């Protein structure tokens, strides 16, 4: 009982000290430029006849799967330069930026290992391009909550009541199922535009940010 009262007191204190704006509205703005850049680059590469260029796919998938993370990383860096309290959105941005490198290693390692990146067995490659930064953001957000709450027990309690973290976890679990299903139905990214569209469709990283933005606006009205 005493522990519950202590947890409630700490949570109330955390809510009172939480910044008025967590910054998710700015993160939402960074998604569309990455998608548009991927489609433009993919179209140009197809026009040049580089339909299945490995380097071209690397560029297109990076822009469509993690392009917004570059902008979000800049957002986090800018917030650090300004100083002040670290927001959830800033921690989320740093985590997403740090998660960008993993799909490059997975992609090139798979190609060197002989995996058919256009077949069913290669369904996981767009997943990691689209979701590795989301995984990084989710982990970074959990660490942020641990630092704010003071213990992992309180952090996980907050985690499972935080709409952004729950939405992030949901998309991480759902996206690979969708990608596998589409490949089983016969889809193959045989040109750069298809590569961009497949990764964009898998990149639901904007959804947690939208949920955070809505939640932020709702909290501001109270």
Q: Which DSSP string do the residues of 177-203 spell out, in sequence order?
A: HHHHHHHHTT----SHHHHHHHHHHH-
In this structure, the number of other CB atoms found within 10 A of the CB of residue 22 comes to: 21
Name the DSSP letter for residue 204: -
pLDDT tens digit sequence for 51-74: 999 999 999 999 888 776 666 666
Question: Residue 96 — left, alpha, or beta (φ > 0 → left; ψ -120 to 50 → alpha)?
Answer: alpha
Task: Give yes or no for residue 122 having a pLDDT over 80.
Answer: yes
Query: What number is the average pLDDT over the span 166-187?
Result: 94
Residue ranges of domains in the chain: 23-221
Q: What is the DSSP letter of 116?
A: -
Residues with Cβ within 8 Å of 42's Cβ and at least 6 positions away in sequence, in order, are 56, 60, 64, 191, 192, 193, 195, 196
Nearest to 177 by CA among 123, 108, 216: 123
Start-to-end Cα distance in the chain: 29
Q: Which two tokens stand for residue 118?
A: 């256009």
pLDDT digits (tens, 9 = 90+) for 68-82: 666 666 655 666 566
Higher pLDDT, 218 or 174: 174
């Amino acid at each position: 009982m005493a522990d519950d009262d202590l947890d409630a007191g700490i949570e109330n204190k955390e809510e009172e000290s939480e910044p008025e704006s967590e910054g998710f509205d700015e993160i939402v703005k960074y998604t569309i430029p990455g998608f548009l850049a991927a489609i433009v680059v993919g179209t140009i590469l197809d026009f040049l006849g580089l339909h299945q260029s490995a380097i071209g796919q690397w560029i297109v998938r990076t822009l469509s799967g993690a392009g917004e993370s570059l902008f979000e990383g800049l957002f986090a860096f800018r917030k650090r330069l300004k100083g002040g309290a670290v927001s959830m959105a800033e921690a989320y941005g740093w985590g997403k930026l740090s998660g960008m490198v993993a799909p490059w290693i997975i992609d090139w390692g798979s190609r060197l290992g002989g995996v058919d990146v256009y077949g069913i067995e290669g369904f996981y490659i767009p997943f990691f391009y689209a979701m590795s930064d989301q995984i990084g953001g989710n982990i970074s957000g959990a660490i942020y909550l641990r630092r704010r709450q003071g213990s992992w027990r309180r952090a996980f309690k907050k985690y499972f009541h935080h709409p952004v973290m729950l939405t992030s976890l949901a998309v991480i679990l759902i996206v690979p199922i969708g990608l596998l299903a589409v490949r089983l139905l016969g889809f193959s990214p045989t040109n750069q535009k298809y590569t961009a569209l497949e990764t964009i469709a898998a990149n639901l990283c904007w959804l947690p940010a939208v949920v955070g933005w809505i939640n932020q606006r709702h909290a501001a009205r109270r």
